[in-house]
Amino acid sequence: MIRHFDRPLFFAVLLLCAVGIAMTYSATITDIVLADYWQRQLVFTIMGAIALVIAALFDYRHLELLAQPSYFVLLASLVAVYFIGEVKNGAQRWLNLGIDVQPTEAGKFLLIVFFAWYLSRFQDRIRRLPYLLGAVILLLFPLVLVYAQPDLGMTVTLAFIIGTLILINGVRLTHILLGVAAAAAAWPLLRGTLQDYMLRRIEVFLDPGSNVDAAFSVQQALISIGNGGWIGMGWGEG
């Protein structure tokens, strides 16, 4: 697989990581508590680069053998979280396996592997409604389990990732419109299940000035831009 290694992409990613580490250094070097934060980011970047090279040497076609087991392993782990998961800050998202493990983090990879297999297997038929509905139903099972933890952010993330895969594979416009209509019809029911903090996040997204406390991060971002403009305060000035 090394013959097909995308070197320009690899070095572009490394460049972006280097810029990110430099910006982290500049933003935190004046804070004694965060002064070593850039070093941790550097360690993670090196580990990620090593993992990337190893993955590039691996023949991804072998992942097809893991596609179906991946889906059921994810479902089993999400069900296990519901019964024996650890509760932190009102959310039940972790399994204690000696260390706390959050199945949804691995779930992003597992779902991509499974749906890549599903969409490639039914590539010529996914434009038919029954096969598209099959993909949607298979996606709904993990989404419901993740949403029940509760974890709205991860639910949206997983839906976006797999939804993008499905759209790229090719979907009829009429089916997209049907999906939008179904989502709109389901919104009143879904809204009734949202917790207060979830509603506040949605409100702040639509209107940042509607809730000052919930919009803290947005307000801080605006203050930063107001102070430094688009080019910032300068190197090492936070």
Q: Which amino acid is at 231?
A: I
The whole-number pLDDT of residue 211 equals 67
Which pLDDT tens digits describe the chain residue by residue (238 residues)? 556 667 888 889 889 999 999 988 888 877 777 778 888 889 998 998 888 888 778 777 888 888 899 999 999 999 988 888 787 777 778 887 777 788 888 889 999 999 999 988 888 788 888 888 888 999 999 999 998 888 888 888 999 998 898 888 888 888 888 888 888 888 878 777 777 777 777 777 777 666 666 667 777 777 777 777 777 666 766 5
The packing angle between helices 103-121 and 129-147, to 10°, is: 180
The whole-number pLDDT of residue 4 equals 67
Q: What is the pTM of this model?
A: 0.71
Beta-bridge partner residues of 88: 91
Q: In this structure, are residues 135 and 119 in contact, taking their beta carbons and an 8 Å threshold?
A: yes
Cis status, amide bond into 208, omega within 30 of 0: no
The whole-number pLDDT of residue 62 equals 83
CB-hemisphere CA count at 13 Å for 42?
Answer: 10
Beta-bridge partner residues of 100: 96
The whole-number pLDDT of residue 212 equals 66
Cis status, amide bond into 150, omega within 30 of 0: yes
Q: In this structure, are residues 77 and 145 in contact, taking their beta carbons and an 8 Å threshold?
A: no
Within the chain, how many helices (H) and strands (E) appear? 9, 3
The whole-number pLDDT of residue 90 equals 73
Would you list the domain boundaries of the chain?
1-58, 62-170, 196-238
